[in-house]
Amino acid sequence: MVNAVEVDGLHVERGKKEVLHGISAQIPAGSVTGLLGPSGSGKTTLMRAIVGVQVVRSGRVTVLGEPAGSVSLRRKIGYVTQSPSVYPDLTVAENVGYFGNLYGCSRANAVETIRDVGLAEQAGQLVGSLSGGWHSRASLACALVSRPELLVLDEPTVGQDPVLRDELWSRFAQLAAEGTTLLVSSHVMDEANRCDRLILIREGAIVADDTPAAVKAAVGTDDLDEAFLRLVTAAEVA
């Protein structure tokens, strides 16, 4: 399988502290990869490095065959930051329309994307007046509108109700089936079961990188929560 993202020996410092200690990982194209780890483990930093907005100290990040941050990649990737980065003083339709315009997408495309994330009824509302869950769905729509080849989503399901979370994960699987590569961070383990692959990181180092089944098998448990706890504890002891 071709890799959409290859990370090799990535070291990143934020402030005076090294937050990623030589991470190497591959993300296969057309799959959903879950990036899991406790708060402060370096998930967001790794995602920022992949979308090319993070200053890195050393190491290589290759995205869709090109160095991360290349000009040509800007049309091919979609990034949703952890706190929804949309304009609260614009309506849902105006936000999605603006981000679509940056890629030359049509109005029809924006309307369809808004419907896909289930905000058709809220399209005319100011984003700032929406509830938290809708707010982050508006942010997601702004990334989906350009039909990117690689989608990097930083905790997109936080604050979403269970029904909506389920809908979103079905949508992620559908996008992957259509050839999109998704990297989704989360700290909800029942979501991890729905990923094709998992990357578990802790304190800036990878503790596991495999399919959910293999991660569970490796520590001899059926429960991903338990597996993650054991892996993290094992890493602490080691």
Residues that bind other proteins (CB under 8 A): 13-15, 51-55, 69, 74-75, 77-81, 83-91, 94, 98-99, 101-104, 126, 142, 146
Q: Is-contact 152 183, C-beta < 8 A?
A: yes
Distances from the Cα of 204 to the Cαs of 9, 137, 197, 211, 231, in angstroms? 12, 29, 19, 20, 14
Pick between residue 90 and residue 235 the one whose CB is nearest to other proteins.
90
Q: How far is the CB of 32 from other proteins (least distance, A)?
A: 20
When the beta carbons of 59 and 69 are compared against other proteins, the nearer one is 69
Q: Which of 30, 29, 71 is nearest to 52 (CA)?
A: 71
**Least separation in angstroms between CB 162 and other proteins:** 26
Give min distance, CB of 238 to other proteins, in A: 30
- Of 48, 66, 64, give the one whose Cα is nearest residue 10: 48
Residue with tokens 């990737």: 77
Q: Which is nearer to other proteins, 55 or 163 (CB)?
A: 55
Q: Which is nearer to other proteins, 3 or 70 (CB)?
A: 70
What b/e string do you get for 14-34 counting C-beta neighbours within 10 Å, with b at 16 or more?
Answer: eeeeebbebbebbbbbbbbbb
User: Toward other proteins, which CB reaches closer, 80 or 176?
Assistant: 80
User: CA-to-CA distance for 24 and 204, rounded, in angstroms?
Assistant: 11
Residue 30 beta carbon to other proteins: minimum distance, rounded to whole angstroms? 21
Q: From the CB of 109, what's the least distance to other proteins, in Å? A: 14
User: Taking the complex as a whole, how short is the minimal distance between the CB of residue 132 and other proteins, in angstroms?
Assistant: 15
Closer residue to other proteins (CB): 104 or 162: 104
Contacts 24+ apart (CB under 8 A), 61-67: 61/5, 61/6, 61/7, 61/8, 61/10, 62/5, 62/6, 62/7, 62/8, 63/4, 63/5, 63/150, 64/4, 64/5, 64/149, 64/150
Least CB distance to other proteins at residue 68 (A): 10
Shorter beta-carbon distance to other proteins: residue 99 or 134: 99
Give alpha helix (H) positions in 103-180: 107-116, 132-144, 162-177
